[in-house]
Amino acid sequence: MLLKNQVLRKHAVDNEVGLSEIVQYQNQAVVAYFCSRHPEFTVQEGNILFTDLLSWMWFNAQRAKLGKKTHLFGPLLLLDELWHAFILHTRDYVNFSMHYFGGYFHHDIEPIGSEHVMEEEELTDYLQDCFTYLGTEWVSRRFEVALVETS
């Protein structure tokens, strides 16, 4: 006999969720919570950030299938802050994880002093995958500041 979580996990594995499906998920409570702690963002901007976070989570899962690690760094750290807000909404986060990933989507952290440093080759591969999986608009939104600073 399969437990409910096993059934959900089997469903998610058998019926892999695409990016276009995952970005349809919305959670106004998470966005409102995030925006209340970051008043520099409008709710509309918060919704875009939330969609970008969901996209990144899906991207992370795709790269994991290829044995690639996917880090949040530099210009993506804002997504990490929003991810923390999502995790605080525990029931919503668990239900989302189970439905879209077939299990809890863990937020791994690196020990202080042992943070991963991306080498140029790894960063190039990461960005190429961002363009391939997430598209030019996503890359432009998330890396705009970094691109301006380096030009």
Please indicate, yes or no, if residue 21 is contained in any of the structural domains: no
Please indicate, yes or no, if residue 18 is contained in any of the structural domains: no
Query: Which two structure tokens, joined as six digits, stand for 8?
Result: 């959900």
Q: What does the alpha-carbon distance between residue 132 and residue 79 come to, in Å, rounded to a whole number? A: 19
**What pLDDT score does 102 carry?**
95
Please indicate, yes or no, if residue 103 is contained in any of the structural domains: yes
Sign, CA dihedral 142-143-145-146, equals: positive
Please indicate, yes or no, if residue 105 is contained in any of the structural domains: yes
What digits encode the pLDDT tens for the residues 3-14?
333 334 434 444
Please indicate, yes or no, if residue 14 is contained in any of the structural domains: no
Closest by Cα among 84, 25, 62, 59 to 139:
59
**What pLDDT score does 118 carry?**
79
Please indicate, yes or no, if residue 16 is contained in any of the structural domains: no
Please indicate, yes or no, if residue 19 is contained in any of the structural domains: no
Q: How confident is the model at residue 147 (pLDDT cuts 50, 70, 90)?
A: low
**What pLDDT score does 146 carry?**
61
pLDDT reading at 72 higher than 90? no
Residue entry with tokens 């790269």: 63
What digits encode the pLDDT tens for the residues 73-106?
889 999 999 999 999 999 999 999 999 999 999 9
Using a pLDDT cut of 90, give the percent of the chain over it: 70
Host domain of residue 123 = 4-8+27-150
* Residue 113 vs residue 145, higher pLDDT: 113
* Number of domains comprising the chain: 1
What digits encode the pLDDT tens for the residues 14-26?
457 899 999 999 9
Please indicate, yes or no, if residue 97 is contained in any of the structural domains: yes
